[in-house]
Amino acid sequence: MAKDMAQQLIPEIPKFARFNIYDYYYAYKPSSDIYNWVPPFKTYATVMGSQHYMTFDKTFYEFAGQCSYLLAHDFIDGTFSVVVNYEPQSDRPVKKSLSVITNNKQVEIFNDGRVVVDGSRVEMPLAFGTTTITRVGSMIRIDNTVGVTVDCNLAYDRCTVNVTGWYFGKTGGLFGTYNNEPSDDFTTAVNTRVETAQELADSWTAGQRCRPENFAVAVNPEPNTEAFKICSGIFKDTSSQFRPCFKIVDPLPFQKMCENDMMIRENRLPAEKDACNAASFYVDVCRREGVNIRVPNTCVRCEIENLGVEFTEGQNYTLEGESVPQSADVVFLLEHAECNQDVVNKLKDVVDDMEVAYKRIGITNNRYSIVGYGASGSLNAAHVRTMDGQIFNSHDKFLLGLDEFTQTQGESADALSAIFYASKLPFRAGVSKTFIIVPCSSCQEMSMSYADVEHVLLQKNIHLHMLMEHSFRLSVEKDPVSAYIFGADNQRVFTRKDAGGKDLVGDRELRQQVQVPKDLCAALALESDGSIFNTLQWTQSRPYMQKRFMDVMVRLIAEKGRPETCQKCDCVSDEFGVGRAVCKTCQSTRSFYSFLPGFEIEGRGVEEALAFRLEETEATTTASPRRTRKPKRKQLRQKQKTRRN
């Protein structure tokens, strides 16, 4: 009897072996999203590449046509419509763009990041009615406060339409009717059910009609082929890193996407990177279902442009000597406020002069970016202002990022958060990184601590420069010389006499008498080997003085923008699974403030740090104020007389 029982149980052992404790954990744990606790639940549908579709009710199919097709539409209130547009290319059509109709405007997102509204090219962010369009990393996002969000991941060629439970039973199109009934997803525009994707698409054609034909590539590779081995290793093998999600999200449809994508890559052998779009799609669905998995390391790729070298996550590359790219990535952080109007109007001239200053010292192929913060409404948080649809672009595209730059100030302006946000932008490997912040309000700790921001600036070797309305003062009695101070760094003060010279020397002796503004961003600027400049000398002085100010400022920024001669670069993944090279100097750096008591990672000790910097300046200059004040004042007057002569 025992033998018979054992024989009955043996066939069941493989079934139990395919389960582990995580399968039960993910299957029964409640959603972390409270909006999915009570029905109707929110849902989403996706089109990936040119032929992979997943409906709101999770039906998968393959289709590629020659026309434009309605993906989803609110047939009750008419609040939104989403259309996919195809164009012919070689022997099969490809997805050209995605159109979203909302607030009586048509927004078209192209695969290269361009955005067109009602036929006109626009830059992001853009807000109209209840709709906001933003660019976050490789993602373009359209948010509508009526419960619809469309996001397009440009890196993995995937667009997703997200809707709240308010649209339950109200939608129609290639994404089906959201009613938790996959059986009726192939319902046509005349409310009949069909069997094939081409019949479904033909009924939902938007605009000019075309021949009903499905150009999607569908294959059944043999088990011994390279394509099958690569895809099954990701979506079928029990040793796959996706294994924790296999019991929650069926991997079979994604394996078919992977195999079909392998066949589309003509004239070369299948490679692991060809599976990355399908892998990223699966990761996205699993994360939405509460299973936190990551894209394979082979899909997280980074590039060193000047060398043509590509490396993946987990690998690193050392740049030394001539292999270090002599280029710079510059980010302007602009607060939306009226006091910045004059500065913003002059920024294009600054960038042009900065480009000249960089080229003089051999730094070329530079890129620029703009981050805004502190605006009213949905743009209060830090956000990228695109130039020709891109996060970074050349100096001649800079004005595009300032298009429709509003001066309307919001309730708060979190400068530290904006700096931290900018530190995550996609910088090129090995180039120097320069931030130029132009605030109106004082920098304060809000959502980010001073210590966290300081740490990331030093870790990534970012130089922060601050342009602020601040008249520098001396630690001795008021002297007219302070009126001619343009700016200062840790070691020097720069005045009008530094303009036009061959070398930017500065005044080290006078620097000992200059008081540093008590501001968190100012402290960060000096700590990161940046500088502080007084914009009043730029906006309220005579034209010849403004020209001298500009000359000194751009030359100093360029001087501090030389790339490190030795850097170690790691390839890491961002929140969307896209690789970014993070390079650090070969010499370890540690914040001077980290030695101060009470200056921990939580951000405590900021006041002590600022006070210490002021005390440090005063200690080196006025150890005995009563004895030294008179002689120093005399020395300064003699120096002033020498300058006038």
- Regarding whether 186 and 242 lie in a shared domain, the answer is no
Q: How many CB atoms lie within 10 A of CB 496?
A: 18
Structural domains in the chain (count)? 3
pTM for this entry: 0.86
Q: Which residue has the higher pLDDT, 625 or 293?
A: 293
Tell whether 257 is covered by a domain: yes
- Regarding whether 48 and 21 lie in a shared domain, the answer is no
Nearest C-alpha neighbor of 563 from the set 330, 313, 347:
330
d(CA 265, CA 219): 13
Tell whether 631 is covered by a domain: no
Tell whether 265 is covered by a domain: yes
Give residue-wise pLDDT tens across range 521-580. Answer: 999 999 999 999 999 998 888 999 999 999 999 999 999 999 999 999 999 999 999 999
Q: Which of 206, 236, 261 is the endpoint of a domain? A: 206
Beta-carbon contacts of residue 235 (< 8 Å; ≥ 6 apart): 242, 251, 252, 254, 255, 258, 278, 282
Q: CA 622 → CA 195, 261, 388, 479, distances in Å?
A: 88, 72, 53, 16
- Regarding whether 438 and 343 lie in a shared domain, the answer is yes
Give pairs for 83-91: CB < 8 Å, separation 24+. Answer: 83/206, 84/47, 84/174, 86/50
Using DSSP bridges, classify how beta strands 566-573 and 531-534 pair: parallel, antiparallel or unpaired.
Answer: unpaired
- Regarding whether 542 and 597 lie in a shared domain, the answer is yes
Tell whether 510 is covered by a domain: yes
- What stretches of 136-251 show up as alpha helix (H) in DSSP? 197-203, 226-235
Q: In DSSP terms, which residues pair with 435 in a beta bridge?
A: 331, 464
Residue 35 is predicted with a pLDDT of 72
Give residue-wise pLDDT tens across range 32-81. Answer: 777 777 788 899 999 999 999 999 999 999 999 999 999 999 999 999 99
Tell whether 536 is covered by a domain: yes
Residue 13 pLDDT exceeds 80: no
- Regarding whether 384 and 241 lie in a shared domain, the answer is no
Q: In DSSP terms, which residues pair with 104 in a beta bridge?
A: none
Mean pLDDT of 285-298: 94
- Regarding whether 477 and 351 lie in a shared domain, the answer is yes
Give residue-wise pLDDT tens across range 169-217. Answer: 999 999 999 999 999 999 999 999 999 999 999 999 998 888 889 999 9
Residue 478 is predicted with a pLDDT of 55
Residue 337 pLDDT exceeds 80: yes
Nearest C-alpha neighbor of 71 from the set 145, 178, 165, 196:
178
Q: Which of 177, 206, 235 is the endpoint of a domain? A: 206
CB 291 within 8 A of CB 244: yes
DSSP 412-458: ---HHHHHHHHTTS-PPTT-EEEEEEE-SSPP--SSS-HHHHHHHHH
Q: Which secondary-structure segment (H or E) carries 609?
A: helix 606-621
Tell whether 213 is covered by a domain: no
Phi-psi category of residue 566: left, alpha or beta, with phi > 0 → left and psi -120 to 50 → alpha: beta
Residue 600 pLDDT exceeds 70: no
CB 196 within 8 A of CB 188: no
- Regarding whether 491 and 363 lie in a shared domain, the answer is yes
Q: Over pLDDT 90: what percentage of the chain?
A: 71
Q: Which of 206, 228, 252 is the endpoint of a domain? A: 206
- Regarding whether 52 and 129 lie in a shared domain, the answer is yes
d(CA 123, CA 400): 7
d(CA 634, CA 644): 16
Structure-token match 């605006």, residue found: 375
Nearest C-alpha neighbor of 553 from the set 372, 353, 376, 362:
353
Give residue-wise pLDDT tens across range 438-492. Answer: 999 999 999 999 999 999 999 999 999 999 998 888 876 555 556 789 999 999 9
Structure-token match 């999915």, residue found: 36
Give residue-wise pLDDT tens across range 349-388. Answer: 999 999 999 999 999 999 999 999 999 988 999 999 999 9
CB 162 within 8 A of CB 42: yes
d(CA 311, CA 301): 6
Dig out the tokens for 28 from the structure: 């029964």
- Regarding whether 186 and 257 lie in a shared domain, the answer is no
- Regarding whether 67 and 25 lie in a shared domain, the answer is no
- Regarding whether 154 and 105 lie in a shared domain, the answer is yes
- Regarding whether 485 and 521 lie in a shared domain, the answer is yes
Give residue-wise pLDDT tens across range 501-515. Answer: 888 999 999 998 898
Q: Over pLDDT 70: what percentage of the chain?
A: 86
Tell whether 635 is covered by a domain: no
Domain carrying residue 480: 321-561+588-621
Tell whether 130 is covered by a domain: yes
